[in-house]
């Protein structure tokens, strides 16, 4: 039977239901998975009708989904994603825009739009998504929920449609920090090296990219974090690399090359129908892939080493999850690009350096949510979730 879906969050073309085990740490909970996760005997649609039409049913289920079902959670369906997960807006040309219940008339953020909308609207307890350039962190911020982008490679991404594999991670959303951490206990296992997070660093250049109302609204979150970790240390994340805008460009070029390497052959042979914005984005990725490679890969490793040093010895970086509240739906292309560039200038930090980042629904502006993020060293995912839980209690969220 089709899912009762007043928010337009679910793919009605695929009825993928997996009953959870009778017992387990997530028994009795309901979840959804972004329609890039394979479920055996169902076709994975990846947000595009031509992908759906040209691919066979999956022979097996994604390990991340299997782990949740084995832990007792029941999967009730697949959620809408931006086409091949290559957008931050959450507006799918073919399947529509899931409703953002906490910011009516505004975008939910993407590409994990349906998963975020379903969690925010109470249709499920938690939901799986993915994050390449911000697709967990941004929807969490815009929809007013919790979201985790884990360390790269920490959660198996097998049987998940890739976008840019060296950036792709499996993440998830929940409405409270306790459940976010409970899901983490299932998907992450113990941290490889026990971490104690003890020092707060404030990313001043990241806060400078956010609108003034965002900076003001998040000050209580910074203050609450200092009560847990002590006086904050101001840092300049962009450093001598030209600032966060320049690092965003490095991210976009590396991502584009990987995206075309991943999907170029299928696009050239299948000639799929993309929405105008997504078609332009893939055309740009192709043009980047056809030019000689520069020094972006080496710069990424230098940036990673810089962040590794910054976050050693228990340091945590705080920053806005997004530069503003959710933009209105169907905004002009120029405004959409400006929002995307400012967002990627924030999200590229964890993406380039392969770090875990958690977003908390810490504030509201004009009745719309805005998220507060914490980034920890690679592999400290469980410690980061524990800190987020403590901070959520301090903020009463």
Does 359 participate in catalysis according to the annotation?
no
From 113, 135, 141, 151, the catalytic residue = 135
In degrees and rounded to multiples of 5, residue 233 shows phi and psi of: -105, 120
- Specify whether 233 is catalytic: no
Confirm if 145 and 171 have CB atoms less than 8 A apart: no
State how far the Cα of 117 lies from the Cα of 173, in Å rounded to an integer: 10
**Beta carbons of 106 and 325 less than 8 angstroms apart:** yes
Q: Which of 87, 111, 324, 373 is catalytic?
A: 111
Q: Are strands 199-203 and 315-320 parallel, antiparallel or unpaired?
A: parallel
Terminal Cα distance for the chain, rounded: 35
- What lies within 8 Å, CB to CB, of 279 at 6+ separation is none
Q: What's the CA gap between 157 and 130, in Å, rounded?
A: 9
Q: Is 135 a catalytic residue?
A: yes
CA pair distance 364, 374, nearest whole angstrom: 18
Residue 222 sits at the vertex; the CA angle it makes with 218 and 224, to the nearest 5 degrees, is 115
Active site residues: 34, 111, 135
């Amino acid at each position: 039977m089709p899912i009762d879906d007043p928010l337009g969050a679910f793919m009605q073309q695929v009825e993928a239901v997996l009953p959870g085990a009778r017992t387990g740490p997530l028994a009795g909970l309901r979840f959804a998975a972004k329609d890039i996760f394979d479920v055996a005997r169902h076709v994975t649609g990846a947000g595009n009708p031509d992908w759906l039409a040209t691919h066979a049913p999956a022979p097996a289920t994604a390990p991340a989904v299997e782990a949740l079902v084995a832990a007792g959670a029941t999967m009730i369906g697949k959620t809408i994603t931006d086409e091949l997960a290559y957008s931050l807006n959450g507006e799918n040309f073919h399947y529509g825009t899931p409703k953002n219940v906490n910011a009516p008339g505004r975008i939910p953020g993407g590409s994990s739009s349906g998963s975020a909308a379903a969690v925010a609207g109470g249709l499920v307890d938690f939901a799986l998504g993915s994050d390449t350039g911000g697709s967990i962190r941004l929807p969490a911020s815009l929809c007013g929920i919790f979201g985790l982008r884990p360390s790269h490679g920490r959660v198996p991404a097998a049987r998940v449609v890739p976008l840019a594999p060296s950036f792709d991670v499996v993440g998830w959303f929940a409405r409270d920090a306790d459940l976010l951490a409970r899901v983490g206990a299932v998907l992450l296992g113990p941290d490889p090296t026990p971490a104690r997070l003890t020092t707060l660093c404030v990313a001043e250049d990241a806060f400078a990219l956010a609108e003034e109302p965002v900076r003001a609204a998040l000050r209580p979150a910074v203050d609450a974090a200092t009560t847990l970790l002590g006086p904050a240390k101001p840092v300049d994340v962009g450093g001598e690399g030209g600032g966060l805008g320049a690092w965003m460009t490095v991210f976009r070029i590396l991502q584009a090359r990987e995206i075309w390497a991943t999907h170029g052959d299928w696009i050239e042979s299948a000639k799929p129908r993309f929405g105008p914005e997504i078609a332009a984005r893939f055309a740009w990725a192709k043009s980047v892939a056809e030019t000689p490679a520069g020094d972006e890969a080496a710069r990424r490793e230098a940036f990673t080493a810089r962040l590794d040093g910054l976050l050693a010895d228990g340091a945590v970086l705080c920053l806005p999850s997004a530069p503003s509240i959710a933009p209105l739906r169907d905004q002009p292309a120029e405004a959409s690009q400006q929002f995307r560039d400012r967002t990627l200038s924030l999200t590229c930090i964890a993406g380039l350096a392969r770090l875990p980042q958690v977003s908390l629904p810490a504030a509201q502006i004009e009745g719309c949510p805005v998220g507060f993020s914490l980034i920890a060293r690679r592999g400290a995912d469980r410690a980061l979730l524990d800190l987020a839980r403590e901070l959520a209690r301090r903020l009463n969220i």
